[in-house]
Each structure stands twice: as structure tokens, then as C-alpha cells.
């Protein structure tokens, strides 16, 4: 069973936000008006923002360090521990997923997540024309499930899934072609689109995979290691 992991090389990242945009179109994240965004109601499963307390240099020659942040897909996720109805759960491949059909909208997981990767649908999502003609039709649906890029109802929590629908599709393709599924067949949209080729994705259980090797680098670190969440999204330090 693969253990999916992402490595983000901050040295290569140019903070172009292409990952954020790719994620938005891949996952049908609703857009909000500038006023609502100002109120803090915008949704960016994959966010790019200045790292807090990370400015370097003396005025006026300061440098802001940017952080791109998908879900950490922690091995010990604080969010799934607090969900009262198991609407969020960690699957056997280590992906932390969110079931929109079951979420009761108590927002306990958004409160518990120290990374702030979880977003709440304050209003019913609206897609202005022509956006609504370009929605990604993919979704994961089943009895009592509604996941992935499926358009969310109002009042539920949503989050980055490492594009779990792409994983499903890759599995289905391998099955249709009658062969074994290879871990390199699957990659989230943000990794695929990354301008600086700063993102790597792969199977952590395979010691020869790119991510395994990069994770051994002495530049590798994880966000907020002190809170004991054991993230599977790994960063490579900048400027070292």
C-alpha cells in the first residue's frame, strides 16, 4: 500500500500561485467576491502566503519568504480525532479526506487544525458565468459519500485531498488496461502545474522514490513539527 507524500522545495518555489489556481480549477473551489474575501471567507485549498515571522534582511533590503501550503495529510491528524461523525477520516493510503455528505458543519476540525487548511462553506457556492461552464465533472460519490471536486453544499467543511479523484482515475485506468497500478501514474494538479518544478509527489513507502530521497535531505523539514501531527507534506528549506 503506497503512502502518498508531497515534497515542496522552497528554494525553487517562485510564489507564482499557479498551484493555487490549478487547485481551484481542479477541485471546483468556489470563488467569492472581494468583499467576502476581505472578511476572510475566501477558500484556497492550496494557499500561498508570506510565512509568518520569516522576514529577513534590514529595511529597505528586506526579503519576504513565501510558503505554499496544501493539506499536510498528517499521519496523526488533529482534525479527524475531533470529528463527531467521522465526516473526515484518514484512508488506508494515508490521505485525509472529507465527506461532504456527512459533515454537520460544526467546524470543530477547522478549529483543531493548526495549519488552517480546512475551509468552511459560509454560503452556498456560486460560480459566475463563464466559470460554471468549466466545472470539473469529476467527483467521488457513493452511498453516503460525496468527496473530491464535487460541488459542495453550503455549511460543510472542505479541504485539499491530494486530488483523490485523480488517484481513483489512475487506479481505474490501470484496471481497465489489465495491469498493476504504478505509483508514478498519479499526481495532484498542483504538482503537475508547478512552474518552478518545486513540487514532488510520490510514494513514501518506496525507498527509491523521489520523495523518499528528498525527505532524507538535510534541508527537509515539516511545518509545526512541535505539535506532533507528523505531516506527510515535507518542505525543503530555502537558502541552505
Partner 1 sequence: MNFPLDNPFYHFVYQLINTAGIGGLIVIVETILILIAVALSLRGITNGAKVDEPEVYAYPTPALHHHNGQD
Partner 2 sequence: MLRISKHDREILLDPLFHAGRKFYLMISVLILIMLWGLIMYVRQFVLGLGTTGMERPAYWGMYMVNFIFFIGISHAGTLISAILRVSNAEWRRPITRIAEAITAFALIVGTLQIIFDLGRPDRILYLFRFGRLQSPLLWDAVSVTAYFLGSLTYLYLPIIPDAALLRDNIPEGAPAWRQRLYKLMALGWRGNRTQWLRLEKMIAVMAVLIIPVAVSVHTVISWILATTVQPGWHSTVFGPYFVVGAIFSGIGALFIAMTAARRSFHLEEYITERQYRNLGYIFITMAAIWFYFTYAEHMTQAAGQLTAEFPVLASKLWGEFSFTFWTMVVIMIMAFIVLVFPLLTPDSWQRSRVFRPRFALANGVVSVLAILALLVPQTQGVTADLLSGLPSPTLRIVAGVFGTVAILSILPWLKSHIIDAMIIASGFVLVGMWLERWNIVVPTMTHPRLMPVGLYTPSLTEWSLFAASTALFIFLFVLFFKLIPAVSVWEVREGRVIDETRDSAQMPLPESSRPPGGLQPAFGDNEPTY
Task: Return residues touching partner 2 (CB under 8 A).
Answer: 36, 39-42, 49, 52-53, 67, 69, 78, 81-87, 102-108, 110-112, 114-116, 119-124, 153-157, 223-224, 227-229
In the shown chain, the binding pattern of residues 177 to 216 toward partner 1, with x for contact by CB under 8 A and - for none, equals ----------------------------------------
Task: Name all contacts of 142-145 with Cβ < 8 Å and 24+ positions apart.
Answer: 144/99, 144/101, 144/102, 145/99, 145/101, 145/102
Which residue of 85, 104, 111, 224 would you call a contact of partner 1, by CB under 8 A? 85
Q: Between 114 and 196, whose beta carbon lies closer to partner 2?
A: 114
* Cα–Cα distance measured from residue 235 to residue 56, given in angstroms and rounded to the nearest whole number: 19
Q: Between 23 and 157, whose beta carbon lies closer to partner 1?
A: 157
Min. distance of Cβ 153 from partner 2 in angstroms?
8
Instruction: Based on the shown chain and the rule CB under 8 A, indicate whether residue 93 belongs to the binding site for partner 1.
Output: no
Q: Are 211 and 201 in contact (CB under 8 A)?
A: yes
**What would the DSSP string read from start to end of 64-98?**
PPEEEE-----SS-HHHHH-SS--EEE-TTS-EEE
Q: Between 173 and 230, whose beta carbon lies closer to partner 1?
A: 230
Instruction: Based on the shown chain and the rule CB under 8 A, indicate whether residue 86 belongs to the binding site for partner 1.
Output: yes
* Cα–Cα distance measured from residue 84 to residue 33, given in angstroms and rounded to the nearest whole number: 32
Min. distance of Cβ 107 from partner 2 in angstroms?
4
Edge-to-edge, what's the strand order for the sheet holding 220-221? 199-203, 4-9, 233-236, 220-221
| Positions that interact with partner 1 (CB under 8 A) | 75-76, 84-86, 230
Amino acid at each position: 500500500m503506497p503512502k502518498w507524500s508531497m515534497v515542496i522545495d522552497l528554494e525553487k518555489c517562485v510564489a507564482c500561485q499557479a498551484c493555487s489556481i490549478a487547485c481551484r480549477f481542479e477541485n471546483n473551489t468556489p470563488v467569492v467576491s472581494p468583499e467576502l474575501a476581505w472578511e476572510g471567507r475566501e477558500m484556497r485549498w492550496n494557499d500561498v502566503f508570506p510565512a509568518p515571522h520569516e522576514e529577513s534582511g534590514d529595511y529597505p533590503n528586506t526579503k519576504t519568504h513565501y510558503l505554499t501550503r496544501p493539506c499536510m495529510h498528517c499521519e496523526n491528524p488533529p482534525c479527524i480525532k475531533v470529528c463527531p461523525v467521522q465526516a473526515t477520516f484518514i484512508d488506508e493510503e494515508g490521505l485525509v479526506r472529507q465527506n461532504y455528505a456527512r459533515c454537520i458543519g460544526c467546524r470543530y476540525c477547522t478549529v483543531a487544525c493548526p495549519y488552517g487548511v480546512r475551509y468552511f462553506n459560509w454560503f452556498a457556492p456560486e460560480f459566475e458565468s463563464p466559470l460554471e461552464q468549466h466545472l470539473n465533472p469529476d467527483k467521488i460519490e457513493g452511498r453516503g459519500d460525496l468527496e473530491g471536486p464535487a460541488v459542495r453544499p453550503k455549511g460543510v467543511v472542505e479541504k485539499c485531498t491530494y486530488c483523490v479523484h485523480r488517484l481513483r482515475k489512475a487506479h481505474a485506468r490501470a484496471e481497465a488496461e489489465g495491469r498493476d497500478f504504478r505509483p508514478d501514474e498519479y499526481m495532484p494538479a498542483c504538482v503537475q502545474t508547478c512552474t518552478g518544478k518545486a513540487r514532488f509527489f510520490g510514494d513514501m513507502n518506496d525507498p527509491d522514490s523521489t520523495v523518499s530521497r528528498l525527505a532524507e535531505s538535510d534541508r527537509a523539514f515539516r511545518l509545526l513539527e512541535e505539535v506532533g501531527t507528523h505531516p506527510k507534506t515535507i518542505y525543503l528549506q530555502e537558502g541552505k
